[in-house]
Amino acid sequence: MTNADNPTFTDHRAMLTAYLVRHGQTAFNAEGRIQGWLDVPLDDVGQIQAECLARRFSEQSVQAIYSSPLVRAADTARVIAQACRLELVLDERLREYHMGDWTGLTAEEIRMAMPTTPLDDLEATIPNGESAQHMRERVAAFLRDLIARHDGEAVVLVSHGGTLGAMVGAMLGLPVMRRHPFAFGNASLTEADYERGRWRLRSLNDRCHLQG
């Protein structure tokens, strides 16, 4: 994260650990459909994935858990919160991108309905959708609050692929873009630490808890 995105802190602050979790699988994920702000619930696979995450976090020390209010994220987070005996906090800033006219469509359906839309352009504007700049601003504001509230603690953040991409981009000070050169599988875990005024990425898209 750049200095412009951060409040000013002195170097004596203890390390904050943020565990970034993508929600479990939904039927739309399995079909390759864009969800955006649609409230699509976890499918049977997603429920199992949430339980795998809960088992992993039950063995770690965690002080707080935040989630997007969208049901696929919130239901994943509730399973983790129960295992950690924590109260879940919902935050609107952790929502997925608002995908506008692309909501509910597959890539092929978008190509058929909007033949002039450059889907391969990473900076393509989504008709009636949310901009990458707006997403950066809302996740950067969330991270500033997180740093101020959780000095020296470990927190879980359950969100969405696009949101987590924007969040990691903000942490690392990458240019604002809608799609970053990394991905987050369903029920994946990414770890980042904040210490002495900067973020460090410790792991990315870890899904070892789903094996077996």
Digit-by-digit pLDDT tens for the chain (212 residues) are 443 354 433 444 579 999 999 999 999 999 999 999 999 999 999 999 999 999 999 989 999 999 999 999 999 999 999 999 999 999 999 999 999 999 999 988 988 887 776 655 545 678 899 999 999 999 999 999 999 999 999 999 999 999 999 999 999 999 999 888 899 999 999 999 999 999 999 999 999 999 96
Instruction: Please give the residue range of the domain that contains residue 35.
Output: 3-210
CATH number of 195's domain: 3.40.50.1240
Q: Which one of the listed residues 31, 59, 96, 130 is annotated catalytic?
A: 96
Catalytic residue among 23, 150, 160, 180: 23
Is 96 a residue of the active site? yes
Number of domains in the chain: 1
The answer to whether 50 and 71 have CB atoms below 8 angstroms apart is no
pTM: 0.90
